[in-house]
Structure formats: C-alpha cells, structure tokens
A = this chain, B = another copy of it.
Amino acid sequence: MTIYLGPNRYGKAETRVVRVTRDGARHAVTDLNVSVALTGDFAGTHLTGDNTGLLTTDAQKNTVYAFAREHGIASAEAFALRLARHFTGHPSVSRARVEVEAYAWDRLGDHSFARRGQEVRTATAVREGDAEWLVCGLRDLVVANTTDSEFWGYDKDRYTTLPETRDRILATAVDARWRHLSAGDGTDWDASYDGTRQALLDAFTGTYSYSLQQTLYAMGRTALEKRPELAEVRLSLPNKHHFLVDLAPFGLDNPDEVYVAADRPYGLIEGTVLREGAPDAGPAWE
C-alpha cells in the first residue's frame, strides 16, 4: 500500500488591516480582511517536518501590514495582485492565492465614518508563474422583488405539493463572483465593481421572473453584456422563501400582504454564465 501527499496549500487567513489616509483634514479609510494561500514545494514540511523553504504564515501577515504602509491600498484588487506577485517571488512558492474582503464605510464627516453594512466586496488574485487571474465579487447583498415573479409549469412527482403561483415574492442574498478577462493593471477596479454591482441589481430588478434560475442567468448575462472586461460570472443565490400566511382560521383574507420570512430550509440556485472565447479559468476558482 502506498500513500502519498496530494494537492496542498497553506497561508495566513483573515488578517484584518485598516489603513487611514490622512490628506489634510479629510481622511479616508480602507478596511480589509486578507487571506493568503500558497502552493509550492512543501513536501518536506508535510513528510518529515523539514521546514526549509517554508515562508511562515506570520511573515505573510507581516507582509500585509508592511505593504499597506509601503505601497498603500489603491483598491482591494490592486492590493491582492501586489501581494500575489510578491509571494510568488519566494523560491518555494509556485502559486499564490490572495483573497480580500473589503468593508465599505460611508463618510459622516472629515474624519468620521459609519460602516455601510450592506454587501461585502471581494477580490481574489491568483498568480502562477507569469499567469495571473482576478476574481472579484460581492456577497450578502439581500434583495427582494414583491411582484413580477411567477413559478409554475414544473414537474409534479409523488412528493410535489407546492401550488403553482402567478405572483410571489422573490428574495435572495446575492453571492456573486466574476472573473476578469485579464488581471492587467489598467483596469479601474472601482468603476468595474460599481458597474458590475449595478448590472446585477438592474437585472434582478428588471427581470420578470418565472424562476430564480431565470433571474440568476439574467444577472450573469447582464453583467457580461455591460462589462466587457469580464469573462465569467458565478452566482450562488439562496431562495429566501417568503410564505403567504394563511389567515383564514382567523376569519381574514390575505391578499398578498402578510408573509413569513423563513430561515431554513431554503432553495439554493448556483450557476455560471460565460462569455464565449474567454480564456481558460486555470486555477482562478480553486
């Protein structure tokens, strides 16, 4: 019997770094959570405990802080790329994956801020050899349509009791990630993020929907149509069920007014929308 080491990686996860830019009286805040994962020649560490060549996760954390000072944080995307390039410069490292979560703060004053608390913006840079990939995204953006959603025409098996509906609430917490055609430095990452976010919302809002799958595809397609810099969009959409309450036992009707917001179980719709001819994803999603 032979047993062997397969794919592996390691790194420092969730380094929380806040950078304050103090240009005169008007400050700015960047608030990130950075996770690094390195792949490379680390068989010795696994097999014999020989740590030669190993870059400690503690040093990775230190690098995050030092780079925030040395280079600033132009954007989550640029920072992730810079770190990925740095770590692949280490001799033992063949691939670096740097995931960044960014928390938005709204301005209250010159040096005062409130955390927005809506979606979390994400940026993941992957570098291997000279190749780079960038996957951006957002999560926890909770949206709802109170009409223009139907659901009918589905299969009925022995266990199907759901009544068909011509009008329902459609609600979800958008978890979207989009792969860029290129990780090139010319992109205006903030504009790209804002534009993609808006495309997703426009599609959610504007789609007369016969299923959450249809809405998912419309969101991915719209993002690709509006943002030529994107190669692929992946969406994971929980169907946050809102059930109409039966008020008949209390002598009341319920003309699509009063709903239960359910926790579990929930439908979960996952899908990928791609641009034809897009370059290979490589290790971007791993």
| Chain A residues with a Cβ under 8 A of chain B | 1-22, 27, 29, 31, 35, 37, 42, 45-63, 65-66, 68-70, 90, 92, 105, 108-109, 111-119, 140-148, 150-162, 169, 201, 204-206, 209-211, 213-214, 216-217, 220-221, 224-225, 232, 238-239, 242, 245, 247, 249-250, 252-254, 256-277
Contact = CB atoms under 8 A, between A and B. Distances in A.
Contacts of A15: 264-265
Contacts of A58: 160-162
Contacts of A272: 5-8
A34 to B, nearest CB: 8
A162 B8 contact: no
Contacts of A8: 213, 216, 269-272
Given A210-B50, A256-B20, A267 B11 contact: yes
Max chain B Cβ within 10 angstroms of own Cβ: one of A146, A201, A274: A146
Given A59-B161, A113-B143, 13 more contacts: A1-B275, A20-B146, A46-B217, A52-B153, A52-B154, A55-B154, A59-B159, A63-B159, A66-B252, A109-B206, A112-B205, A113-B146, A161-B249
A40 to B, nearest CB: 11
Q: How many copies does the complex hold?
A: 4
Contacts of A18: 169, 242, 258-261
A157 B249 CA distance: 12
Nearest to A149: B111
Contacts of A14: 264-266
A57 B239 contact: yes
A162 B152 CA distance: 31
Contacts of A42: 213
Contacts of A274: 3-6
A215 B5 CA distance: 12
A201 to B, nearest CB: 6
A275 B20 contact: no
Contact of A65 (B111, B211, B245): B245
A137 to B, nearest CB: 16
A92 to B, nearest CB: 7
Contacts of A51: 151-155, 210-211
